[in-house]
Chain A
Amino acid sequence: MNVSSAAVRACGLVKTHGQGQSRVRAVDEVDLEVPQGQMLAVMGPSGCGKSTLLHLLGGLERPTDGEVWVAGRRIDPLSERALARMRRRSVGFIFQAFHLVEELSAAENVELPALLAGRSRRQARRRASLLLERVGLADRARHLPSQLSGGQRQRVAIARALANDPLVVLADEPTGNLDTTATLDVLRIFEELRAAGQTLVIVTHDERVAATADRLISMRDGMFVDDTRLAGTGTGWLGDLIGLEG
């Protein structure tokens, strides 16, 4: 098994919620390997366990059973403290509800992970302005989240997720709260990240978001029911769509 090429790996992953009768297997014996540079989408109806899977991969929740490996290191037995350090270095999170710190400006939000990782204020600031420029918000750096549109907020959140140049970005319904235009902005950024070789795991129920990925996993009741490679299948189908004779 080539561990080094897998950014994230899970073996026999199980997560149950609740007790006794109301015990639910949110994630049920899942095996997963995400190679570096892959953009993976996980789709499924709400409650299928896809968000739980994401939390498990990022160490926000602990599995009931099974192993999680991030960057070649097993993380499920780590202490909260070690998990936090692991997240700083290796994981960037993006959420449906953005989860920006409301009291901090866009730039300060983006600086936060870098500061937590112990970078100097100047480094953090420089990195933040670079990232905000990359998501097209250089002119909004001093705005508070409440002064930004939903799409802009999510772009700030993406910049923040990238602050420490993480090995993998985990996105939970990143476009769930966005309109079409804002969704396209976010997808455009994801597309750039993919082209730059960033490993991405996106949980979504939006087919458009899923379709940008290289690989698509469908989840039902905590289990994987389908695993499709979407990449490298350019069929020229679009050209066939229009025919003058038609």
Chain B
Amino acid sequence: MGSVMLVVRLVLADVRRHKVQAAMLLLAVTAATATLALGLSLRGVSDALYEQTRAATAGPDVVALSPASGPAVTPALTSLANEPEVIAHHGPYRIVYADLTTRDSTSSSVVVQGFAETPGAVNRPLVTSGRWVRSGGTVLERGFATALGVGVGDHVTIAGRSYPVVGIAVTAATSIYPWAAQIGPYGGGSDYSGLAWMTRADTRTLASSQDLPVTMALDLKLRDPAATEAFRDAHRDSTIWINFHSWQFTAEQDMVILKDSRPILVVGSWLLSFLAVTGVAALAAGRAVEQTRRAGLLKAVGAAPGLIAAVLLTEYLALALAGDALGLVIARLAVPAIASPTASRIGDAAGVTAATVAAATVLAVAVAVLSTLRPTLRASRTATVTALTTTAHQPRHRPWLTALSALLPTPFLLGLRLTARRPGRAVLQACSTATTVIAIVALLTLYAQQERGYGLDGSSTLPNLRGEHDRRLMLAVTILLIALAVVNTITLTWTTAMEARANMAIARTLGATPGQITAGLSTAQLLPALAGAVIGVPLGIGLLSLFAARNAAEPPSSWLLGAALATLLATAALTALPARLAARRSVAQTLSAETA
């Protein structure tokens, strides 16, 4: 019990003394776990929203669609309604393929479904604003209306005729916008389409006046909602061409819009965790001497190496778990917006699942353990007396580095000889840069994709929501990654500058100018960053090729080169600031402080 108290007290003291480090670990873990939890929750939330919409709208278990024309179609569909497995039905009803234009000339493909003015037992679209169809008026599906920017009271032109929008509704019978068409005209492929409802009479008039293609549909409720597959198999040999869309298929179709969101979030969370580890490791490296001395102190008063490791690990674990909790809360709050980029579904997102919580927690613990591994091992391994008397991590001589530096101009030489003696830190900087570049490459690739807009004939007056969504997510992840990388770079430069302080002051007494010192410190950071950027570009392309579609466009090389250069320039600027501050310190003061 006593040792637990001691551990807690030491942890609290340490956190209080190193607020910045604690905050950074907390925020980094929060970002990583939130992203991961979001990525893992997408499917569950999408399914849950579909389920709730289905419940609210008496969604059909099976929609039978027949693109054929002729007198045999309606009886064939009607006969399905009389099957013993079917307990309720709606229809048959017309689906008319038309185009729709708003007042501001945005046009889109649309399917118009002819419904009764009083909804039946199955497929009762839920009116979210306005009222249900009446003669001469149309109701728009909510996802479609939102994309169009149209509300109740506006007028839209469908197949050349103007209709007032009398209501907005949602349904579970079709997939979310823009996949409402289910099947195309004459059974062919469908364009991105929105969904509108009219009265049966208006639909009939619409179809006949313009000779528009029509598909007949029938919504069915089965005795066993799970037995959709069996029902379809049983009625495959119908003489009439009928397509069956099960509710499971429709729900699955909802996920299409999120197809790329999941890898963006999950892989993004890995990259974020990686940066979190490097960032915390960079901070820990700056504190290595102090930590080692503290460990020595604890050992000297009789603490076992296990206790020392426990203190370090407890501190990092506690912070990581706090970050984990925070991340999960953020994910829970953000998930409805991210899992449902269209307005086609209603309902509340379910809570984060246990599996997601477990995955996020594993990630947080991994970050904590990986970040502490090195300092913990070093602190508990170092002999007590060495730890107490140690003033700095004993440097090693690297003659090859000196030989290499001899070929470079003076500032580079200084940078390499005086600061880049810590390969671990160079690796951290390289990793940090590579991660940033990977994210930027991914972002550029997404922006390089040619996407069909959701407007008529692929017009981008209606943006491709899926692409927009992916870009927005990727941008958010990239911004988080860049923010962490910026913090990492500043931390690394500052740590390096502080450690090289004495050496830099010595160099000043030997006649090095402040400019040379600044350039030297920047160089020490920039060289690994260069390596990171060079590795990052192919890594980013490689990583994307695992997820991207086969026909995905690659961003132009000039973009990639520009991104790598911009990253390096930003690194140079970021490193120059702390380096400049460090170089401006008084030489005399620095040297006397080192002696004291």
Contacts and interface: CB of A to CB of B under 8 A. Distances in A.
B418 A101 contact: yes
Interface size class of B (residues with CB under 8 A): 20 to 34
Contacts of A104: 397, 402, 417
A74 interface: no
A146 B397 CA distance: 11
Interface stretch (B21-29, B302-310, B502-510): B502-510
A94 B380 CA distance: 38
Contacts of B397: 103-105, 144
A81 B511 contact: no
B515 A81 contact: yes
B496 to A, nearest CB: 13
B514 A80 contact: yes
Contacts of A61: 586, 588
Nearest to B418: A101
A93 interface: yes
Nearest to B594: A97
B586 A93 contact: no
Interface string A216-245: 000000000000000000000000000000
Contact of B509 (A60, A80, A115): A60
A51 to B, nearest CB: 8
A60 B588 contact: yes
B386 interface: no
B267 interface: no
B511 A87 contact: yes
Given A101-B418, A104-B417, A115-B410, A87 B588 contact: no
B379 interface: no
Interface string A187-202: 0000000000000000
Contact of A85 (B399, B511, B588, B594): B511
A116 B587 contact: no
| Interface of B (DSSP majority class) | helix
Given A60-B588, A108-B417, A116-B512, A103 B503 contact: yes
The residue among A81, A86, A91, A101 with the most chain B CB atoms within 10 A of its own CB is A101
A130 interface: no
A16 interface: no
A84 B515 CA distance: 10
A201 to B, nearest CB: 14
Contacts of A144: 395, 397
B513 interface: yes
B506 A99 contact: yes
B406 interface: yes
B95 interface: no
B239 interface: no
A142 to B, nearest CB: 8
The residue among A51, A85, A93, A103 with the most chain B CB atoms within 10 A of its own CB is A103
A73 interface: no
Nearest to B401: A103
A108 B418 CA distance: 11
B503 A87 contact: no
A103 B395 contact: yes
A95 B594 CA distance: 12
A55 B591 CA distance: 11
A104 B417 CA distance: 7
Contact of B394 (A89, A95, A116, A146): A146
B494 to A, nearest CB: 19
A96 B591 CA distance: 10
Interface in B489-538: 502-503, 505-516
B595 interface: yes
Nearest to B583: A80
Contacts, number: 91
A93 B513 contact: no
Interface string A149-160: 000000000001
B513 A99 contact: no
B421 interface: yes
B513 A81 contact: yes
A85 B402 contact: no
A113 B511 contact: yes
A81 to B, nearest CB: 5
Nearest to B414: A116
Contacts of A134: none
A93 B395 contact: no
A4 to B, nearest CB: 23
B392 interface: yes
Contacts of A121: 406
Interface string A96-127: 11011111110010001101111001000000
Given A81-B513, A87-B509, A97 B410 contact: no
Contacts of B503: 101-103
A225 B508 CA distance: 32
B413 interface: yes
Contacts of A9: none
Nearest to B392: A102
B514 A81 contact: yes
A205 interface: no
A80 to B, nearest CB: 5
A115 B513 contact: no
B248 to A, nearest CB: 66
Contacts of A103: 395-397, 417-418, 421, 503
A102 B395 contact: yes
Nearest to A99: B506
B513 A80 contact: yes
14 contacts: A60-B508, A60-B587, A81-B515, A84-B514, A87-B511, A88-B511, A91-B511, A96-B595, A99-B594, A101-B503, A101-B507, A108-B417, A112-B417, A118-B410
Interface of A: 51-52, 55, 58, 60-61, 80-81, 84-89, 91, 93, 95-97, 99-105, 108, 112-113, 115-118, 121, 144, 146, 160, 164
Q: Nearest 6 CB-CB pairs, A to B?
A: A88-B511, A84-B513, A103-B395, A87-B511, A97-B595, A113-B510
Given A60-B586, A99-B594, A112-B417, 11 more contacts: A61-B588, A84-B511, A88-B510, A89-B511, A103-B397, A103-B417, A105-B397, A105-B399, A112-B507, A113-B510, A116-B512
